[in-house]
Amino acid sequence: MTAPTDRTPHAPGPRVVIVGGVAAGMSAATRLRRLDESAEIIVFEQGRYVSFANCGLPYYVGGVIAERDALLLQTPASLRARFDLDVRVEHEVVAIDRAARTVTARDTATGATVVEAYDHLVLATGATPRLRAETAPDAAPVVTLRTVDDVDRITAVLAARGDEPGCAVVMGAGFIGLEATENLVRRGLQVTLVQQGARPMSPLDPEMAAAVVDVLAAHGVDVRTGTTMEALDAAGAHLSDGTVVRADLVVDARGVTPATELARAAGLTIGAAGGVVVDGHQRTEDPRVLAVGDAAEKTDAVSGAATLITMAGLANRHGRAAADVIAWDNGRLDTAPRAAAPALGTAIIGLFDLTVAMVGWSEQRLRAAGRQHRVIHTHPTDHAGYYPGAQRMAMKVMVDPLSGLILGAQIVGGNGVDKRIDVIATAMHAGLPAAELAHLELAYAPQYASAKDPVNMVGYVAENLATGLTDTVQWHELDAAVAGGATLIDVRSPQEFEAGAIPGSINIPVDALRDSFDALPEGDLIVHCQVGQRGHTAARILAQLGRQARNLDGGYLTWKAGAAVGALQPA
């Protein structure tokens, strides 16, 4: 072991050691250099690569990203040249001595250790994927999808199979599992997607997940929900549903846990959510040690509680924030860094031709937490319907009925999903009430949007609900309402009704409603159309004629999607 090295002569400023050289760690390093030319910045990375594009890894497997080099955004040499960083790959930090302010790093190639002193230490150790270890020796290889080495392993298996791609089992239908599935299908593999939960993409509410189920089926993916892989041997993957499926490759994508061993061993607090506890400035309880990225807990924007959100945007932002704190501590910033904004969990995934995006909490999570909420479903097109190529999306927004604030949103569709989720995330960040979405002045031309943008439309519905102009019933409340004596009136055209209708509904097209008014049955009325818009008009006609009617939120499409995928867990 070598003694702590001295400060390099050209670096009279603070000595900063960063553990982890990808998203959060490298953001911290490069931002700090932009703020403080005098700092000595050492980055230890246990892997062979730094600053690689981990979000691009699945697409290299699928061949969408053709060049492996495109994943490698920087090298230690380029980071030395541009940012004067001392980047040491294949160096695992194995211990922190907080009293002495040193770290011990082990060269993973030679086993030699080095001790480095720090004035500030940034832990950017990321998260560790769960990996199924116990397999028979003659079984298919089991890999995770987290590093460049992982994709090298996967592509080597695929290359060895040549023109016969074979079969893969993907464990876990979250973001990484779905991206792995898509890209293995792209490479010609038959994929069995094994998901312990009731549906793929479990953060999505059931009626929103229906499109995910459909797109996987359309691409030939064999989805096994409520299932786990119990054993793997030469015969294949033995699943808990009693079947054995062929597996030439198994991708274990069952999730990650924050890489906190180093912090824990150094006596830093690991929180209830499982990450390193930090304050709003990424400081641990030791002000000389900061933690960022997947390893650190965040503050949830909806609950205010500590949470884990393993996303690249937060990792980069918090890495940058850590650099600001260090620069401020050393007099290199004139303005005190602001505290981190609470985390919204904004996320998006492309799955074949489907785009799925979410922010904040789902309805099922709000119900489980017993949190009051109001739900809005809409099915707008991404741009004006009369302009060619319009694509329908399903939007769902959860609203706090007391404050009117947005608690979460989910959007599933094609074009334009990304734009709408980002506008809603921005509104949540700014603390705009949902009804305020009606008043946003958003860019419009027919090929991009509608004069009433889908986001505006959500605002109109929120406004109507908040003011009591409209009352809605949710798809999962319908059975109970009908059992309680409510009459369900389908206000679509007879052709639409013929093509598929909710059992027990009667068809009175909205245009005939005034003439049929006197013949309407007594008791509660629930109206519905295809997406909720004509239903709203029908409810307003009836209300002004003296009959209260609730509108089925999201109409037939939302009901159908919910009925196809399963029940929402009761509160």
Judged by CB under 6 A, does residue 474 bind ligand FAD?
no
Per-residue b or e along 450-476, where b marks 16 or more CB atoms closer than 10 Å to that residue's CB? beebbbbbbbbbbbbbbeeebebbbbb
Judged by CB under 6 A, does residue 176 bind ligand FAD?
yes
Task: Give the interface segment with ligand FAD, choosing from 14-22, 283-291, 299-307, 451-459 (CB under 6 A).
Answer: 14-22
Alpha helices in 490-532 (DSSP H): 494-499, 513-516
- State the Cα–Cα distance between residues 525 and 318, nearest whole angstrom: 51
92: helix, strand or coil: strand
Distances (CA, A) of 235 to 132, 136, 220, 246, 500: 17, 10, 22, 7, 44
Q: Which is nearer to ligand FAD, 121 or 434 (CB)?
A: 121
Would the CA dihedral through 324, 329, 335, 336 be positive or negative? positive
Which positions ≥6 away from 84 have C-beta within 8 Å? 33, 37, 41
Q: Which is nearer to ligand FAD, 183 or 195 (CB)?
A: 183
Task: Give the interface segment with ligand FAD, choosing from 15-23, 153-161, 438-446, 561-569 (CB under 6 A).
Answer: 15-23
Judged by CB under 6 A, does residue 320 bind ligand FAD?
no
| Residue 234 Cβ vs ligand FAD, minimum distance, rounded to whole Å | 29
| Residue 106 Cβ vs ligand FAD, minimum distance, rounded to whole Å | 9
| Residue 347 Cβ vs ligand FAD, minimum distance, rounded to whole Å | 6
Q: Which is nearer to ligand FAD, 147 or 551 (CB)?
A: 147
Nearest to 182 by CA among 414, 356, 352: 352
Distances (CA, A) of 284 to 104, 263, 277, 281, 542: 19, 10, 6, 9, 60
- Contact between 173 and 197 under an 8 Å Cβ cutoff? The reply is yes
- Contact between 225 and 241 under an 8 Å Cβ cutoff? The reply is no
Task: Give the interface segment with ligand FAD, choosing from 50-58, 73-81, 274-282, 448-456 (CB under 6 A).
Answer: 50-58
Q: Which residues, 246 to 305, sit near ligand FAD by CB under 6 A?
A: 259, 262, 293-295
Judged by CB under 6 A, does residue 174 bind ligand FAD?
no
Judged by CB under 6 A, does residue 101 bind ligand FAD?
no
Count of C-beta atoms within a 10 Å radius of residue 111: 7
Task: Give the interface segment with ligand FAD, choosing from 5-13, 61-69, 122-130, 385-393 (CB under 6 A).
Answer: 122-130
| Residue 319 Cβ vs ligand FAD, minimum distance, rounded to whole Å | 7
User: How many residues lie near ligand FAD (CB under 6 A)?
Assistant: 32
Among the listed residues 92, 400, 436, 471, the single contact to ligand FAD using CB under 6 A: 92
Q: Which is nearer to ligand FAD, 259 or 527 (CB)?
A: 259
Token reading at 151: 């994709």
Task: Give the interface segment with ligand FAD, choosing from 16-24, 189-197, 265-273, 478-486 (CB under 6 A).
Answer: 16-24
Q: Which is nearer to ligand FAD, 280 or 313 (CB)?
A: 313
Nearest to 98 by CA among 284, 294, 275, 295: 284
Judged by CB under 6 A, does residue 58 bind ligand FAD?
yes
Judged by CB under 6 A, does residue 202 bind ligand FAD?
no
Sheet bearing 113-117, strands edge to edge: 91-97, 102-107, 113-117
Q: Which is nearer to ligand FAD, 252 or 453 (CB)?
A: 252
| Residue 19 Cβ vs ligand FAD, minimum distance, rounded to whole Å | 5
Task: Give the interface segment with ligand FAD, choosing from 61-69, 119-127, 199-207, 464-472 (CB under 6 A).
Answer: 119-127
| Residue 468 Cβ vs ligand FAD, minimum distance, rounded to whole Å | 39
Judged by CB under 6 A, does residue 24 bind ligand FAD?
yes
Q: What would the 3-class secondary structure string for 342-403 be?
A: CECCCEEEEECCEEEEEEECCHHHHHHCCCCCEEEEECCECCCCCCCCCCECEEEEEECCCC
Q: Which is nearer to ligand FAD, 356 or 375 (CB)?
A: 356
Q: Which is nearer to ligand FAD, 23 or 194 (CB)?
A: 23
Q: What would the 3-class secondary structure string for 171-202 be?
A: ECCCHHHHHHHHHHHHCCCEEEEEECCCCCCC
**What's the number of CA atoms in the CB half-sphere (13 Å) around residue 343?**
24
Amino acid identity for residue 341 in this structure:
A
Token reading at 317: 């932002």
Among the listed residues 13, 36, 41, 45, the single contact to ligand FAD using CB under 6 A: 45
Which residue lies nearest ligand FAD, judged by its C-beta? 293
Judged by CB under 6 A, does residue 145 bind ligand FAD?
yes
Query: Which CB contacts under 8 angstroms, 24+ apart, belong to 103-109?
Result: 103/17, 103/19, 103/44, 104/1, 105/44, 108/46
Q: Which residues, 529 to 568, sit near ligand FAD by CB under 6 A?
A: none
Q: Which is nearer to ligand FAD, 62 or 446 (CB)?
A: 62
Give residues in contact with ligand FAD (CB under 6 A). Answer: 19-20, 22-25, 44-47, 54-55, 57-58, 92-93, 124-126, 145-146, 176, 259, 262, 293-295, 310-313, 315
